[in-house]
């Protein structure tokens, strides 16, 4: 799949969608924690309902027992019993009013409170799209981090605090979602896992016949006719009358026979193989590099190059604010130069920024170059919000810090963007700067292109979530309280294509970052151009 040429959304307030009650829960842990609390409240309400229902039953039971005793005595000697005037009166009273009251009690609906809570909360529940999104996130993680299906199903992930596993039914569900995406590779993996768990004796409502039906189709779609036939045979052993399977079996036999014939003159299939190989090659290089870097399997820098990476105390080029208290700076990469600042944002500042952003987080958007509009995209899965320096002294202080330490004017920069990536949240390879062939959305701002990126890591990530540069092979790991900085443009104003980068999917945990995109205007004397175009 070719990556669309798009840039990140601009900080144009009027273009940003207002955050609404329901937008893609699965993209951010922040919103999902609300759901956990909602669920907790609903359980309390459900328990109240159970209690009310139990006390109602208790009352009914008592009544039944009382009447049971009474009628037992009465029926033994009805006339003697009714000879007592009190008994006669009580019988009238019971039949005329008390049975009616009991009827009302039996009819009384105890579920009102729970049902109305449920109705209110349901408006904020995830929908099918959220469920599919969360399932796709699992499949994405499986690919990126080379997780085998069994490991993922058993929940054996690095750094997890709360182990959780998938049932055969969950696996079947994942397989079905892959199937509806025509993703037969994952359909096969997950249907096979569901089957395996059932074969191992897991008690489940998942049905082997259904699973085999999907599985054989997915296998057939991927060209393994022999295996598809074996699976269909297995299905027919369980359900000999299965119509589709019987039909498929005949069809497979027919194709098999035809293929055998064709195999005698085999040049065709060889050519086909070559073709698919070419197709794979077209697509894989960047994707494969990206995924390798995400797994931390990047090619290591040569020792010679590595030796030229240093760490130092940095005073912002003799900036008065940093002369007495310089900050720690580390070289992360040489070309493009990526530096990391340590202890550059405090835990308190992080909390403030997160609290300011939380109510405003909405699904991050990208610019669609065809329509010129902001849209959501599978390649950017996170929630973000913009914070202005005017709304909080903390944000303003952070902006000043960026200005002092980069030596760049922040008055032309976009507002501080805060992003939260949930599990599976990612931003596939992209450039932060606008390319020449794109309709110029930066023109409206009048501040030029995005000259540089400053990125704060506001959380550690248990597993995954690196920022990677596939062109050059750099992986930068999130470390809470640090920030990285790089130039997107050469001093000439030309875009530096080696800065292509991505945010890897979060495997376990939750990733908070905030970033500042600095623009060209205002930097004319701070970063003057040189005579060369590409340095
Ligand atoms: C971005 C970006 C990287 C990250 O928001 O443009 O590249 O690691 N983020 O979050
Ligand atoms: Fe970026």
Q: Is the dihedral of CA 5, 11, 15, 16 positive or negative?
A: positive
Q: If you ran DSSP here, which 8-state letter would residue 27 be given?
A: G
Q: What is the pLDDT of residues 453-475, one digit of tens each?
A: 999 999 999 899 999 999 999 99
Domain count within the chain: 3
CA of 530 to the centre of ligand 1 (A): 28
What is the residue with the minimal CA distance to atom 9 of ligand 1?
Answer: 503
Domain of 441, CATH number, reads 2.60.120.620
Q: What is the pLDDT of residues 152-194, one digit of tens each?
A: 999 888 878 888 899 999 999 999 999 998 899 999 999 999 9
Confidence of residue 440 (pLDDT cuts 50, 70, 90): low
Token pair 């005037």: residue:
85
Residue 353 lies in a domain: yes
User: Are 189 and 332 in the same domain?
Assistant: no
User: Are 447 and 471 in the same domain?
Assistant: yes
Q: What is the pLDDT of residues 493-531, one digit of tens each?
A: 899 999 999 999 999 888 999 999 999 999 988 888 877
Residue 476 alpha carbon, nearest atom of ligand 1: 8
CA of 218 to the centre of ligand 1 (A): 36
The predicted structure's pLDDT at residue 158: 82
Residue 472 lies in a domain: yes
User: Are 91 and 133 in the same domain?
Assistant: no
Report yes or no on whether pTM surpasses 0.85. no
pLDDT at 13 over 70: no
Q: For 490-500, b where at least 16 C-beta lie within 10 A, e where not — what string?
A: bbeebbbeebb
User: Are 456 and 353 in the same domain?
Assistant: yes
User: Are 36 and 166 in the same domain?
Assistant: no
CA of 246 to the centre of ligand 2 (A): 53
Q: What is the pLDDT of residues 193-241, one digit of tens each?
A: 999 999 999 999 999 999 999 999 999 998 899 999 999 999 999 999 9
Counting ligand 1 atoms within 8 A of each CB, the residue from 28, 503, 516 with the most, and so the one to mutate, is: 503
Q: Which residues lie below 8 Å from residue 158, measured CB to CB, with a gap of 6+? A: 462, 463, 507, 508
Q: What is the distance between the alpha carbons of residues 493 and 59, in angstroms, rounded to a whole number? A: 82
- Cis, bond preceding 336 (omega within 30 deg of 0): yes
Determine the structural domain holding residue 162 and report its residue range.
128-258
Residue 270 lies in a domain: no
Residue 504 alpha carbon, nearest atom of ligand 1: 8
Looking from the CA of 1 toward its CB, the CA atoms found within 13 Å total 8
CA of 33 to the centre of ligand 2 (A): 26
Q: What is the pLDDT of residues 22-71, one digit of tens each?
A: 456 666 676 777 888 899 999 999 999 999 999 999 999 999 999 999 89
Closest ligand (CA of 427): 1
Q: What is the distance between the alpha carbons of residues 39 and 47, in angstroms, rounded to a whole number? A: 12
Share of the chain above pLDDT 90, in %: 63
User: Are 76 and 170 in the same domain?
Assistant: no
User: Are 156 and 76 in the same domain?
Assistant: no
The predicted structure's pLDDT at residue 30: 67
Closest ligand (CA of 479): 1
Q: Which two three-digit tokens encode residue 107?
A: 């009819």
CA of 377 to the centre of ligand 1 (A): 15
The predicted structure's pLDDT at residue 9: 36
Q: Which residues lie below 8 Å from residue 11, measured CB to CB, with a gap of 6+? A: 386, 414, 415, 417, 517
CA of 502 to the centre of ligand 1 (A): 6
From 492, 533, 499, 372, select the one nearest 440 (Cα to Cα). Answer: 372
User: Are 167 and 107 in the same domain?
Assistant: no
What residues flank ligand 1, with Cβ below 6 Å?
A: 8, 419, 427, 432, 455, 467, 501, 503, 513, 515
Residue 525 lies in a domain: no
- The mean pLDDT of 387-405, rounded to a whole number, is 97
Counting ligand 1 atoms within 8 A of each CB, the residue from 382, 413, 453, 488 with the most, and so the one to mutate, is: 453
Residue 93 lies in a domain: yes
Q: What is the distance between the alpha carbons of residues 332 and 272, in angstroms, rounded to a whole number? A: 44
Q: What is the pLDDT of residues 302-356, one digit of tens each?
A: 899 999 999 999 999 999 999 999 999 999 999 999 999 999 999 999 999 999 9
Q: How many helices (H) and strands (E) does the chain have?
A: 17, 18
Confidence of residue 443 (pLDDT cuts 50, 70, 90): low
Residue 112 lies in a domain: yes
The predicted structure's pLDDT at residue 439: 62
The predicted structure's pLDDT at residue 47: 97
CA of 380 to the centre of ligand 1 (A): 9
Using only C-alpha atoms, the chain has a radius of gyration, in whole angstroms, of: 33
The predicted structure's pLDDT at residue 281: 45
Rounded to the nearest integer, the mean pLDDT of the chain is 87
Q: What is the distance between the alpha carbons of residues 91 and 95, in angstroms, rounded to a whole number? A: 6
Q: What is the distance between the alpha carbons of residues 168 and 82, in angstroms, rounded to a whole number? A: 65
339-344-350-356 Cα dihedral, nearest 10 degrees: -80
Q: If you ran DSSP here, which 8-state letter would residue 94 be given?
A: I
Residue 530 lies in a domain: no
The predicted structure's pLDDT at residue 280: 47
Counting ligand 1 atoms within 8 A of each CB, the residue from 377, 460, 467 with the most, and so the one to mutate, is: 467
Inter-residue long-range contacts of 347-351, CB under 8 Å, 24+ positions, other chains counted: 347/480, 347/481, 349/394, 349/397, 349/398, 350/458, 350/459, 350/480, 350/481, 350/512
Share of the chain above pLDDT 70, in %: 89
From 148, 138, 139, 154, select the one nearest 200 (Cα to Cα). Answer: 154
What is the residue with the minimal CA distance to atom 5 of ligand 1?
Answer: 515
From 20, 40, 26, select the one nearest 510 (Cα to Cα). Answer: 26
Q: Which two three-digit tokens encode residue 437?
A: 């062939």
- The mean pLDDT of 121-143, rounded to a whole number, is 88
User: Are 118 and 166 in the same domain?
Assistant: no
pLDDT at 377 over 80: no
Q: What is the distance between the alpha carbons of residues 515 and 299, in angstroms, rounded to a whole number? A: 27
Domain of 254, CATH number, reads 1.25.40.10
CA of 7 to the centre of ligand 1 (A): 12
Q: If you ran DSSP here, which 8-state letter would residue 97 be given?
A: I
From 194, 197, 177, select the one nearest 186 (Cα to Cα). Answer: 177
Residue 293 lies in a domain: no
User: Are 217 and 78 in the same domain?
Assistant: no
Q: What is the pLDDT of residues 251-302, one digit of tens each?
A: 888 888 888 887 776 555 555 555 554 444 444 478 888 999 999 987 788 8
Phi/psi at 108 (5° precision):
-60, 130
Residue 150 in contact with residue 195, Cβ under 8 Å? no
What is the residue with the minimal CA distance to atom 6 of ligand 1?
Answer: 432
Q: Which two three-digit tokens encode residue 81?
A: 């019993």
Q: Which two three-digit tokens encode residue 39?
A: 């669920």
User: Are 304 and 416 in the same domain?
Assistant: yes
User: Are 199 and 345 in the same domain?
Assistant: no
The predicted structure's pLDDT at residue 334: 95
């Amino acid at each position: 799949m070719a990556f669309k040429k798009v840039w990140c959304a601009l900080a144009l307030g009027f273009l940003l969608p207002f955050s609404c009650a329901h937008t893609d829960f699965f993209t951010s842990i922040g919103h999902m924690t609300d759901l956990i609390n909602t669920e907790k409240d609903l359980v309390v309400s459900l328990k109240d309902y159970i209690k009310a229902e139990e006390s109602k039953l208790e009352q009914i039971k008592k009544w039944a027992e009382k009447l049971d005793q009474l009628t037992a005595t009465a029926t033994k000697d009805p006339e003697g019993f009714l000879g007592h005037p009190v008994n006669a009166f009580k019988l009238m009273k019971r039949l005329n009013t008390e049975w009616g009251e009991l009827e009302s009690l039996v009819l009384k609906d105890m579920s009102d409170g729970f049902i109305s809570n449920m109705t209110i909360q349901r408006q904020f529940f995830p929908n099918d799209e959220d469920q599919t999104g969360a399932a796709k996130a699992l499949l994405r993680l499986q690919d990126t981090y080379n997780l085998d299906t069994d490991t993922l199903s058993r929940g054996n992930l690095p750094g997890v605090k709360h182990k959780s596993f998938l049932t055969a039914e969950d696996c079947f569900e994942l397989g079905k979602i892959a199937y509806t995406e025509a993703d037969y590779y994952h359909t096969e993996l997950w249907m096979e896992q569901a089957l395996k768990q059932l074969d191992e004796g897991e008690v489940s409502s998942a049905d082997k016949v259904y699973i085999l039906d999907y599985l054989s189709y997915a296998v057939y779609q991927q060209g393994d006719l022999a295996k598809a036939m074996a699976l269909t045979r297995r299905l027919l052993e369980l359900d000999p009358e299965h119509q589709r399977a019987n039909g498929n079996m005949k069809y497979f036999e027919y194709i098999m026979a035809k293929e055998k014939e064709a195999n005698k003159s085999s040049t065709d299939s060889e050519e086909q193989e070559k073709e698919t190989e070419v197709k794979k090659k077209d697509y894989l290089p960047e994707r494969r590099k990206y995924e390798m870097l995400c797994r931390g399997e990047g090619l290591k820098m040569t020792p010679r190059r590595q030796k030229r990476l240093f760490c130092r105390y940095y005073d912002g080029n003799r900036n008065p604010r940093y002369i007495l208290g310089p900050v720690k700076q580390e070289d992360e990469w040489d070309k493009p130069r990526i530096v990391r600042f340590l202890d550059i944002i405090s835990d308190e500042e992080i909390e403030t920024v997160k609290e300011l952003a939380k109510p405003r987080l909405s699904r991050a958007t990208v610019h669609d170059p065809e329509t010129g509009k902001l849209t959501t995209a599978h390649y950017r899965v996170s929630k973000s919000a913009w914070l202005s320096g005017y709304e909080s002294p903390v944000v303003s202080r952070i902006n000043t810090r960026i200005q002092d330490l980069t030596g760049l004017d922040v008055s032309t920069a976009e507002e501080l963007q805060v992003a939260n990536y949930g599990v599976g949240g990612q931003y596939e390879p992209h450039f932060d700067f606008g390319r020449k062939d794109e309709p110029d959305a930066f023109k409206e701002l009048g501040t030029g292109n995005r000259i540089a990126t400053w990125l704060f890591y506001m959380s550690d990530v248990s597993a995954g979530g690196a920022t990677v540069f596939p062109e050059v092979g750099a992986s930068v790991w999130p470390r809470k309280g640090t920030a990285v900085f790089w130039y997107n443009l050469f001093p000439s104003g030309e875009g530096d294509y080696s800065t292509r980068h991505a945010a890897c999917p979060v495997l376990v945990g939750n990733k908070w970052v905030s970033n500042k995109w600095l623009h060209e205007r205002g930097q004319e004397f701070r970063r003057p151009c040189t005579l060369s175009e590409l340095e």
